[in-house]
Amino acid sequence: MEDTLKFTVLPGDGIGPEVMAVALEVLEKVTSDAGLKLDYSTHDVGGAAIDSQGSALPASTLKACEAADAILFGSVGGPKWENLPPAEQPERAALLPLRKHFTLFANVRPGLLYPELLDASPLKAERIPEGIDIVCIRELTGGIYFGQPKATRDLPDGDIEALDTMIYRKSEILRIAEVAAQAALTRGKRVTSVDKANVLTTSVLWRKVVTEFFAEKYPEITLNHMYVDNAAMQLARSPNQFDVLFTENMFGDILSDEMGIICGSLGMLCSASLGAHNNRLGHPFGLYEPAGGTAPDIAGQGIANPCAQILSAALMLRYSFGRDDLAKQIEAAVKATVQAGTRTGDIAFGTDSVSTRAMADAILGRL
C-alpha cells in the first residue's frame, strides 16, 4: 500500500495540461527510481469541466479527489469563461469549493528567487544580491472569503448595498499559527504576523492569539507583527527581512501576489494548500498548484515554463507523501537546470529560450 502514491490529477485549462504532462513525467522518474508506484486518474476541472459537463467542479471530479491522498492541480480559467456570472466562473466555482470541501486551511507559498534569475525581478539587484528566500503562510478557509452573511440587497430608499463578513475563530487562528511555526522551525525561526489590528476587530483577536501562542509554545521563534499596508511596502523595499510571512486569507491573497512578482516569473512559483485532515498515510491531505495561472496567451504553443508545476509536484511528495528526500531531488534538478541556462522564454532574458519539452528533458536528465 505505502509504496503506491494515490493522487488525483486536475490539469484544468490553458497551459495547465501542457505543464501537467511533463510534471507527471518528472514524478514518474523520481518515484520509480525510489521503488514507488504512482496511482492517479485525471479529471476535468474549471473551464474544461464547464465545457464537458456543465459545471466547473463536477461531482465525479470531487469524488475522485475524495478517494485520493492528494490533488495535483494545474490552473483554471480563461477568456472563454470570463463572461459567465461570477459565481459560475472557473476560479470561483472550482477552487474555492475545493478549498472549503477539504478544509484546505493552510496555503504555503515559497517566494524563491535564485540569484541567477535576478534579472527577472522588478526590484533593483542591489537590494537582493543573494536573491529572495521567504515563505508566505496564508490562512485559506476563513476570513472574508467565506464568512456569512454575504448578500446584495435592495434598500427601501432605492439604494443597493452588498456585504461580506470577515470572521475568525480563535481555533482557526491557532491551527494556522502552528503551520507558520513549523515552517519557521525548518528555516530562520522568524515569523512576521501581518494584520490590520489598528482597524479590524478580527485582527485584534488575531494578534492576541498569535502573541500568546508563540510565547507559550515556541519561545525559540522570533515573532513580530506588522500592519498589512506596511508589510506591502516592506516587501518591495527589503523582502529578505522576512523569513515566514504569516497572515489571514485576504491579506495573504494580496501579499502573495506581490511576493510572486518580486520573485520574478510566476512560472517558477509553486504552492501547497494543506488540509485539516490527514490522508490514509497519516500526512496532510493537500492540493498542489502553480501560482502562475492559465496563461491563455501562450497556451497550446509548447513554450510554457513547467517549473512551477514540477515544483508543486515536489511539494506534494514532501507534504502529502512524507518524502522530503524526493522533493529535494526535484528541487535540486530544477535549480541546476535553470542555473545552467536552460530556460523557457519567461526567464531567458534575451538568451535562447527552450520549449516546455526541452526544459522538462533537461530537468529529467538531472534526476
Residues near ligand IPM (CB under 6 A), total: 5
Torsion sign, CA atoms 203, 204, 205, 207: positive
**Min dist. Cβ of residue 348 to ligand IPM (A):** 26
- Pick the catalytic residue: 29, 257, 335, 361? 257
Residue range at the interface with ligand IPM (CB under 6 A); choices 89-97, 173-181, 183-191, 218-226: 89-97
Question: 91 contacts which partner out of ligand IPM, Mg ion, none, CB within 5 to 8 A by kind?
Answer: ligand IPM
Tell whether residue 95 is a contact of ligand IPM (CB under 6 A): yes
Q: Which amino acid is at 362?
A: A
CB-count burial class (<10 Å; 0-12, 13-18, 19+) for 125 = exposed
Alpha-carbon span 305 to 303, nearest angstrom: 7
Question: In which residue are the cell numbers 505543464 written?
Answer: 19
**Min dist. Cβ of residue 259 to Mg ion (A):** 11
Tell whether residue 253 is a contact of Mg ion (CB under 5 A): yes
C-alpha cell at 147: 464568512
What is the separation of C-alpha 125 from the centre of its chain, rounded to a whole number of angstroms? 25
**Min dist. Cβ of residue 208 to Mg ion (A):** 27
For residue 91, give the nearest of 145, 136, 47 by alpha carbon.
47
Question: Coil, strand or helix: which one is 35?
Answer: coil
Of 59 and 87, the one with the shorter C-beta distance to ligand IPM is 87
Residue range at the interface with ligand IPM (CB under 6 A); choices 67-75, 91-99, 338-346, 357-365: 91-99
CB-count burial class (<10 Å; 0-12, 13-18, 19+) for 132 = buried
Terminal-to-terminal C-alpha distance of the chain: 25
**Min dist. Cβ of residue 95 to ligand IPM (A):** 5
What is the separation of C-alpha 119 from the centre of its chain, rounded to a whole number of angstroms? 23
- Pick the catalytic residue: 119, 229, 324, 325? 229
Of 261 and 336, the one with the shorter C-beta distance to ligand IPM is 261
x/- track of binding to ligand IPM for residues 331-360 (CB under 6 A): ------------------------------
Alpha-carbon span 18 to 11, nearest angstrom: 8
Alpha-carbon span 366 to 342, nearest angstrom: 12
Site for ligand IPM in 217-256 (CB under 6 A): 253
Residue range at the interface with Mg ion (CB under 5 A); choices 89-97, 110-118, 128-136, 251-259: 251-259
**Min dist. Cβ of residue 159 to ligand IPM (A):** 28
Sheet with 106-113, edge to edge strand ranges: 37-42, 4-12, 71-75, 284-290, 270-278, 106-113, 132-139, 244-247, 190-195, 222-227
User: Is residue 196 among the annotated active site residues?
Assistant: yes
Of 253 and 258, the one with the shorter C-beta distance to Mg ion is 253
Residue range at the interface with ligand IPM (CB under 6 A); choices 90-98, 185-193, 262-270, 342-350: 90-98
Residue range at the interface with ligand IPM (CB under 6 A); choices 7-15, 87-95, 280-288, 338-346: 87-95
- Whether 68 contacts 6, CB under 8 Å: yes
Tell whether residue 91 is a contact of ligand IPM (CB under 6 A): yes
Of 140 and 333, the one with the shorter C-beta distance to ligand IPM is 140
Of 256 and 329, the one with the shorter C-beta distance to ligand IPM is 256
Question: 178 contacts which partner out of Mg ion, ligand IPM, none, CB within 5 to 8 A by kind?
Answer: none
Of 72 and 362, the one with the shorter C-beta distance to ligand IPM is 72
Alpha-carbon span 289 to 357, nearest angstrom: 20
C-alpha cell at 155: 434598500
Alpha-carbon span 256 to 247, nearest angstrom: 10
Catalytic residues: 145, 196, 229, 253, 257
* List of residues contacting Mg ion (CB under 5 A): 253
Residues that bind ligand IPM (CB under 6 A): 91-92, 95-96, 253
